[in-house]
Structure 1
Amino acid sequence: MDGLSTAASIVAVLQLAGTVLNCLNSVRNAPKELEKVFGEISSITGALFLMQTQAERAQQDQEGAGMLFTAVRSLSTPGGPLEQFKAALKTLASKFSPVGAVKKLSRTLAWPFEKSEIAELLLSLERLKSYFMLALQSDSLYLSRETKGAVNDLSEAVESLRLGKDDQECRRILNWLNTADMEQKHQDVFSLYQEGTCSWFLGSDAVDAWLGGEGNHMLWCPGDPGAGKTVMTSVVIEHVKAKFPDEETVVAMACCHLNDPDANTSISIISSLVKQLAIHGDTLHREVHELYHKMTKG
């Protein structure tokens, strides 16, 4: 299915979802279950709006349409999640209208579901929502990987723009802070990422809570050596960058390696983080200049 067909299918489902949401909003003496159903459908609708945009972009970019947004298009295959969601919406609509379509609604409607029915419906909606969200995340990571080569080629030019080509002092200060290129190390690890993996982790409740600032601020990921923790961490870093793209947000990282004990010291880790924070923006922070001159004079 091409981008235009995918977008058209999504539009049809969005229209049906809007009708069902209007019905749910008109229910009198609404039970708590209705709020959950309303929330799940609203969340899926939001994801579908993003999917519609991506599908339309894929159609406009004919050269990249065949390889981009693969995960999103896969959801619109016959019998796929998009059709399943449409079927669930039709079931909801039929409950509010004996003819299977909502035509004329009174101001208030009765809640037509038994608890067992709504429990099964909620499970289905939650599962479908996870499919749509993971598809969007998968495409975002794929795009990040596709642009990795261009980012590496332009890294020196970007650094020159930030620091100024003739600003040798800034370069000296950055090298004094830490000589390691943490971004390059991260990109080397991320190049090992295989498309379609790690989606289960990015869509987990633990990651959602961590990104939302809920509970513990540490996302702990234990595992045996060689299990893929480093690559998974690199994928999370790219996910965070994509989720918070504004210039006021800085994503800093520190990597510890068993075979590089010098990089595992507290001084090395802190100086690496300071370097990454210092380089953010058009110029180095004044405090970094002052610290450099204070520590190196005499």
Structure 2
Amino acid sequence: MDPLSVTASIIAVLQLTNAIIGYLNDVKGASKDRAQCAIEASNVYNLLVNLKYRLEEASSNDAWYTAVRALAVTNGPLDQYRSALEQLQSKVISTSTSGLGKIGSALTWKLSKEEVADILSKIERLKSLIQIALEMDHL
């Protein structure tokens, strides 16, 4: 996978992360879980932005690029993070078609503690892997 493909994958995840953070800031009724998800997503967002810029300056010959490329493989950490965000998005975004139902549904928290723990686990895993990849760049 060339740097451009990895960068494109990262950009797609960045866009989804940004949308999720916006949704989480609007959700009411589960302040601790919502806040924790928003904070962790923001942390990953910042790491992914850093990684994206480093990739834009890198070449596929760089030794650390192999570790970064491993993040973007099919069913790899980026895909798992994207699926966790999509799961979060499906719970936060309203499926109601009526105006008031859509607003009310969008502003309530629908995730169980187990779902939140699973999503946070995936976020933490990706965050750790990105940090390792970024540290390898410094070596």
TM-score range, shorter chain: 0.7 to 0.9
* 1:33 Cα deviation from its structure 2 partner: 1.5
1:114 counterpart residue number: 112
* 1:5 Cα deviation from its structure 2 partner: 1.0
2:92 counterpart residue number: 96
Count of aligned pairs between the two proteins: 131
Residue deviations 1:172-204 (CA, integer Å, cap 9, x gap): xxxxxxxxxxxxxxxxxxxxxxxxxxxxxxxxx
SS at match of 1:93: helix
* 1:94 Cα deviation from its structure 2 partner: 0.9
SS at match of 2:29: coil
2:61 counterpart residue number: 66
Residue deviations 1:37-65 (CA, integer Å, cap 9, x gap): 1111111111110111122112xxxxx43
SS at match of 1:131: helix
- Alpha-carbon separation, structure 1, partners of 2:11 and 2:82: 11
* 1:93 Cα deviation from its structure 2 partner: 0.8
Q: Which has the larger radius of gyration?
A: 1
* 1:90 Cα deviation from its structure 2 partner: 0.7
- Alpha-carbon separation, structure 2, partners of 1:133 and 1:106: 37
CA contact (8 A) 1:16 1:89 kept: yes
With the length of structure 1 as denominator, give the TM-score of the two structures: 0.41
- Alpha-carbon separation, structure 2, partners of 1:26 and 1:106: 11
Task: Pick 1 or 2: higher relative contact order, CA cutoff 8 A, min separation 6.
Answer: 2
Structure 2: segments with no counterpart, 5+ residues? 96-101
Q: Equivalences for 1:121-132 in 2 at 5 Å?
A: 121-132=119-130
Task: Quote the sequence identity (%).
Answer: 39
The CA RMSD measured in Å over matched residues stands at 1.9
- Alpha-carbon separation, structure 2, partners of 1:82 and 1:57: 20
2:40 counterpart residue number: 40
With the length of structure 2 as denominator, give the TM-score of the two structures: 0.84
1:147 counterpart residue number: none
- Alpha-carbon separation, structure 1, partners of 2:8 and 2:117: 31
